[in-house]
Amino acid sequence: MSNSDHIRTKHSAVVEEEIPISVESQQPSQALPEGGGKLNRILHGLQEHPSKAAAGALLALAILIVSAYLVRNAFLYEDTDDAQVDGHVMPLSARINGQVMNVNFVEGQLVHEGDLLAIIDPADFKIAVIQAEAALADAKAGATSSHWNVPITSVTSQSNLDSADTEVANAEAGLRAAEHNHEAAKASLTQAGAIAARSNADLERAKQLVAKEDISRQQFDQAVASATANQAAAASADAAVKAAEQAVRQAEGKLLQAKADLRTAQTAPQHVSLIRAQADAADAQVEQRQAQLAQAQLNFSYTIIRSPVTGIIGKKSVEVGQNVSIGQEMLEVVPLDDIWVTANFKETQLEHMRPGQPVKVKVDAYGRTWFGHVTNMGGGTGSVFSLLPPENATGNYVKVVQRVPVRIDFDRTAGRDFNLEGMLKPGLSAVPEVKVR
């Protein structure tokens, strides 16, 4: 190394040692060069530790991505933690009075549609079915007999009507004949009376003549015999007239009876209608017995309590040996398929929310996400349907952001049973996230 080079090296060292002194002396008045120095030191450190530099860059990128995601979600989605899973709770009540014989379930048990849950003693109801069947058979027999009586009564009534018409005609003819006989008898009586009177006159003259002996005793006897015979004929004619009068009265009675029978026979259509009405009443009786049998069979079927849906037993309120009455609740079944979410969104979150928008539902109990859609926006805010709705027109008014119940139905896949595992139950907390844009 030459002397000149050595001198330059010494000069450089002196300069490097002097620089910090000058910088420190100028620190209060030169802040910008200090910042530039820090940046240079950071860059120098990054060059010396490239792994830390990469980690910092990744951290900054992650923060940027998360920030962008949060900003995007805040713009595209609306969510709330004021939500819960809802569903129908189906209470099963007794439809008859009786004693419970068997109970085949416990609370929380999964049951399927049609599963046998309980049995009420069926003995009394089976007897009622047998009695109803017997009453129905009797009513059917009576109805059959009544229907057979309709044509029989119709034919018989028509025959009686024809016979009554004939009897009336015969009675009228008999009356006319009796009247003619009466007239003939009266004529015979008149003739016999006249002959008897003449014979009596002849007898009186014969008495005078026989006393004078103008006629023989034989002629007088003939006059006496003739008078006696004529008087007897007159008496006979009088008796014949009386007999004819009696015959007329009898003929009149027969005519009256025949007319009465005719009037009775003329009620044949009404009588036939009465028989038809009785047949119809018998048919109605059959229908009544059929209804009673159907009711008895229904009551008998009510002794078997089956699950109407696939679900979970929510509450058990019946035991073996317990007497139950009509309408008494025995258990509750929560259907697995009829489940939805009720989300109470703030009114300020509903600006862009519409029915049909897709929803992601996270259930707190499982940390799992289900997919659904908005079904409706509710009929009003929750406060409107509360027990004591607000009266904003009275007192001091404080504006409170209201919440509106929004129904969210879960999406279902065709051919698969929704909620088959029974994970979704009414009352579970959920956090729905609605895509509004």
Instruction: Report in angstroms the alpha-carbon separations of 432 from 84, 131, 345, 349, 428.
Output: 9, 60, 10, 13, 12
Task: Give every CB contact of residue 157 below 8 A, 6+ residues apart in sequence.
Answer: 265, 268, 269, 271, 272
Rounded to an integer, what distance in angstroms lies between the CA atom of residue 234 and that of residue 228? Answer: 10
| 212 lies in the same domain as 247 | yes
CATH code, domain with 134: 1.10.287.620
Residues in the chain: 437
| 90 lies in the same domain as 226 | no
Measured over the CA atoms of residue 221, residue 223, residue 225 and residue 231, the dihedral's sign is: negative
| 138 lies in the same domain as 11 | no
Q: Domain ends where: 274, 296, 329?
A: 274
CB-count exposure of residue 157 (10 Å: 0-12, 13-18, 19+): buried
| 195 lies in the same domain as 333 | no
pLDDT, position 12: 41
| 105 lies in the same domain as 142 | no
| 260 lies in the same domain as 129 | yes
Residue 402 in any domain: the answer is yes
Whether the predicted model's global pTM rises above the 0.75 cut:
no
| 117 lies in the same domain as 163 | no
- Closest by CA to 218, choosing from 231, 206, 230, is 206
| 107 lies in the same domain as 179 | no
CATH code, domain with 372: 2.40.50.100
Region 340-347: what's the mean pLDDT? 94
pLDDT, position 44: 65
Contact 80, 353 (CB under 8 A): no
pLDDT in tens, 192-216: 778 778 777 767 777 777 677 666 6
| 219 lies in the same domain as 205 | yes
Quote the domain boundaries for residue 269.
124-274
CA angle at 12 for the pair 9 and 18, rounded to the nearest 5°: 145
Q: Which of 7-11, 124-128, 269-273, 372-376 has the lowest mean pLDDT?
A: 7-11
| 383 lies in the same domain as 346 | yes
